[in-house]
Amino acid sequence: MSVHVRVQAEPFDVGVETARLSVLSSHTGGVGVFVGQVRGGHGLLAMTLEHYPGMTEAALNTLAQEAIARFELTGCTLIHRIGRLQVGAGIVFVGAAAPHRGAALTATSFLIDRLKTGAPFWKREEYANGRTQWVDARETDEDAARAWLLKNP
Amino acid sequence: MSVHVRVQAEPFDVGVETARLSVLSSHTGGVGVFVGQVRGGHGLLAMTLEHYPGMTEAALNTLAQEAIARFELTGCTLIHRIGRLQVGAGIVFVGAAAPHRGAALTATSFLIDRLKTGAPFWKREEYANGRTQWVDARETDEDAARAWLLKNP
Amino acid sequence: MADRVTVLFFAALREQIGQDSLSVAIPAGGVSVQVLREQIEKADPAIAQAFAEQPRLRVAVNQTLVTFEQMVNPGDEVAFFPPMTGG
Amino acid sequence: MADRVTVLFFAALREQIGQDSLSVAIPAGGVSVQVLREQIEKADPAIAQAFAEQPRLRVAVNQTLVTFEQMVNPGDEVAFFPPMTGG
């Protein structure tokens, strides 16, 4: 069982990170991955990701441990970028490896749903007209995180 | 809207394929990926993937079009390998890009669940003791594929 | 020369039957998959046995999955195979 | 020197308040987060206003999310921030 958590300004390499999960165990039958990226539109240029150093890493590790307790995994990875990210740039890499595809994909959904509102990151948007704006937490994101409390596993 | 389907003997490159999905549209906010690989255990050495040339590509394209009709996607990719694959080797790459993470991840699950029993591939296992055996279709895989008939979307 | 269809076998069926394709004469007006199936079972005991051992036999006509009621016409490609196990 | 806690602000709160940290004197026996909150609101109208404009204020003590009933002791790190928006 292997947990890999990182917070970094640099881009992540999806190929390298997925391969890290694939080779963890010969009993791995599938790897689920989600890559979040800066979605353009309405004149958005970039986002700046602020975080709470120390608490961020702790929250991501806690989340990973929850996934491992809940799903039959061979490992999982959470990588979150910080700093200024332009439209199209990768923000977050979430991955889960498991003997069976169901656990890999459900754990991937669990990790990204929980990460959205459960780790201390905040996004400030920057528009072409010069306006900047902190992103409001979406009710739908909080609902998605809460829904996992009722699911099994 | 972009569909990318391939059947090939060569390995696929997860980084390249995920990047292909990421750059399809500036409105993409997330990419879901599933990589299936040969799971070891019980002395398994390798699998040989047989397929029905022509029908395979048609079935994968039909599946991709179903995903596009069903989910709000910016694109999806299905790559399936054929021939002899050793334990740990990638068998299948499924990916879906979407403005929102829910559609990307649900479409990824849909595509792999349907592909398992809906495209003409067959697996023959090869064990260390020399025994070979065709893999039986699992009831749980057929149930997973059928369950999508009742889901919305 | 009679009107013919091409019949293909895949995976375990192909191995049990010992060949991957047949050319089969059918009536010009076509037959159902079921009738074609019975015809080739009668012609080759190896086919009859392989089909009998495969309770979930699948069939495709011209590379589309169909039921055994589907009509087959001269020139069609008919494939028999076990349940698919991709991914 | 009195017993103190470090208070941190993040994101929109940090910008509105105009600073990212404070050192605040508290009783040696500790106080609840709620009492600490009222104390710093009284001391700085910018804090009072920023908190008032944030109906879903979150708080962490020693880097763990807690409720406003949580006790805070000298030496603790207390962070106030808006709902988290990662991913």
Flag whether D touches C (3+ CB pairs, 8 A cutoff).
no
The predicted pLDDT at position A6 comes to 97
The minimum CA-CA distance between C24 and chain B, rounded to whole Å, is 20
CB contact at 8 A, B71 and C82: no
Q: Is C20 helix (H, G, I), strand (E, B) or coil?
A: coil
A58: closest CA among A106, A17, A118?
A: A118
Q: Mean of the pLDDT values across residues B99-108?
A: 98
Which residues sit opposite A95 in a β-bridge?
A: A33, A77
Per CATH, the homologous superfamily of domain B2-150 is Molybdopterin biosynthesis MoaE subunit (3.90.1170.40)
Average pLDDT, chain B: 96
Asked if the model's pLDDT at residue A129 lies above 60, the reply is yes
Tokens of A6: 């990182």
Tokens of A138: 């979406």
The predicted pLDDT at position B39 comes to 98
The predicted pLDDT at position C22 comes to 97
CB contact at 8 A, B133 and B124: yes
The predicted pLDDT at position D54 comes to 93
Q: Is D65 helix (H, G, I), strand (E, B) or coil?
A: strand
Nearest to B122 among C63, C64, C84 (CB): C84
Q: Mean of the pLDDT values across residues B132-137?
A: 93
Computed on alpha carbons and rounded to an integer, the radius of gyration of chain C in Å comes to 12
Q: Mean of the pLDDT values across residues A89-114?
A: 98
- Confirm whether pTM is higher than 0.90: yes
Q: Mean of the pLDDT values across residues B29-33?
A: 98
Q: Mean of the pLDDT values across residues B92-119?
A: 97
Residue of chain A whose Cα is closest to the Cα of B112 = A101
Q: Mean of the pLDDT values across residues A132-148?
A: 91
The predicted pLDDT at position D42 comes to 97
The minimum CA-CA distance between A127 and chain D, rounded to whole Å, is 17
Cα–Cα dist B141/B138, whole Å: 5
The predicted pLDDT at position B1 comes to 78
Cα–Cα dist D67/D52, whole Å: 17
Cα–Cα dist C68/C76, whole Å: 15
Asked if the model's pLDDT at residue A96 lies above 80, the reply is yes
pLDDT averages per 10-residue partition of chain D, 87 residues: 90 96 96 97 97 95 96 97 96
Show me where the domains of chain B are located. 2-150
Residue of chain A whose Cα is closest to the Cα of B89 = A22
At B15, the pLDDT band (50, 70, 90 cuts) reads: very high
Q: Mean of the pLDDT values across residues A126-149?
A: 92
At A152, the pLDDT band (50, 70, 90 cuts) reads: confident
The minimum CA-CA distance between A37 and chain D, rounded to whole Å, is 8
**What is the DSSP code string of C29-44?**
T-EEHHHHHHHHHHH-
What whole-number percentage of chain A has pLDDT above 90? 90
- Return the partners of chain D (3 or more C-beta pairs < 8 Å): A
Tell me what percent of chain C is helix, strand and coil, each rounded to the nearest 5: 30, 30, 40
Which residues sit opposite C25 in a β-bridge?
A: C4
Cα–Cα dist B65/B75, whole Å: 10
The predicted pLDDT at position B149 comes to 87
The predicted pLDDT at position A139 comes to 86
The answer to whether the Cβ–Cβ distance between B117 and C63 falls below 8 Å is no
Average pLDDT, chain A: 96
D81 and chain A: CB distance < 8 Å anywhere? yes
Asked if the model's pLDDT at residue A153 lies above 90, the reply is no
The answer to whether the Cβ–Cβ distance between A27 and B39 falls below 8 Å is yes
Q: What is the ipTM of this complex?
A: 0.94
Tokens of D84: 């988290």
Contacts of C2 (CB under 8 A, 6+ apart): C25, C26
Tokens of C71: 């009509």
Cα–Cα dist A120/D43, whole Å: 26
Q: What separation, in Å, do the N-terminal and C-terminal C-alpha atoms of chain C show? A: 42
List chain C residues with pLDDT less than 70.
Answer: 1-2
Sheet bearing B44-51, strands edge to edge? B83-86, B44-51, B121-127, B132-134
Contacts of D66 (CB under 8 A, 6+ apart): D33, D59, D60
Please state, as a whole number, how many other Cβ atoms lie within 10 Å of the Cβ of residue D83.
Answer: 19
